[in-house]
Amino acid sequence: MTNPKDFYGYLWDAKQQANYRPAVRRHWFHRLILDPIFDPSANPRHEVALRLLQGGERLLDIGCWNGYLLERIREKNIYRELYGVDIVPEAIETVRAKFFKAHVVDLNKDPLPFHDDFFDGVTMLAVLEHIFDPYAVIQEVRRVLRPGGQLVIDVPNAASLTNRMRILLGRIPVTSTDRGWDGGHLHYFTKHALDRLLREEGFDILQRKTTGGKPWLRERWISLLGGELIYLCRKR
């Protein structure tokens, strides 16, 4: 059986290849109807997260991959120290080569290697859906955040319009185009489910954002029109 480190190591290697292609083609309803209206390439998750961050002393990016978000945060110069964790050792080597403090961490079994109340901010983009126990990971995030600290979290919206149509037709939701079973996603989140998880684990939700064009419209009906759910939260 493939373990998580092997799976994401394989995905890392595949994405380093110049000829890498997504495993799932976008649904015809997206390509022909929704994409011309909402432009999925606009307003990407990293830029949304960057606009939500308010700055402080230290920030941790969970699932830092190649360090792209950390680089963008460094350019903005709003945190003095930047840290990253990821399950893929090669990814961490890449991030350390960019002069960030980074650690190999398997969130399914390893605690975050930091003291309580250590960070002013935590980002976790496209990670929680890959984790066996989301409650345990959110509890770890809360532990390492100082009181009043920020969490910016992003998950795919399993209740988007096209996913609702898929379910009506007897199909499963599609929340990733990466290789593997739905790109390795183990859990599906909706606005209601993410709200409940975060509030139960001691976070206040300050803002809800999404990706793609026309965010003013998408965010008015985010549970239906949001392809991704990007929240700014505060530790109580």
The 10s digit of each residue's pLDDT in 119-176 is 999 999 999 999 999 999 999 999 999 999 999 999 999 999 889 999 999 999 999 9
Is the pLDDT reported for residue 71 higher than 70?
A: yes
108: pLDDT confidence band, cut at 50, 70 and 90?
A: very high
Q: Are 23 and 178 in contact (CB under 8 A)?
A: yes
Look-up: residue for tokens 């000829």?
19
pLDDT of residue 47: 97
DSSP string for 1-62: ---HHHHHHHHHHHHTSTT---SSPPPHHIIIIIHHHH-TTSS-HHHHHHHH---EEEEEEE
| pLDDT of residue 2 exceeding 80 | no
Per-residue pLDDT, 33: 78
Beta-carbon contacts of 149 under 8 Å, excluding residues fewer than 6 positions away, are: 56, 117, 119, 120, 121, 122, 234, 235
Pair 223, 163: CB distance under 8 Å: no
Q: Please give the pLDDT value at position 22.
A: 81
Q: How far is CA 207 from the centre of its chain?
A: 16
Name the pTM for this structure.
Answer: 0.95
Instruction: Inform me whether the pLDDT recorded for 1 exceeds 70.
Output: no
The region of weakest confidence among 4-8, 16-20, 47-51, 141-145 is 16-20
Consecutive H or E run containing 84? strand 79-86
pLDDT of residue 95: 98
Over residues 43-59, the mean pLDDT reads 96
Domains and CATH numbers, the chain: 4-16+43-235 (3.40.50.150)
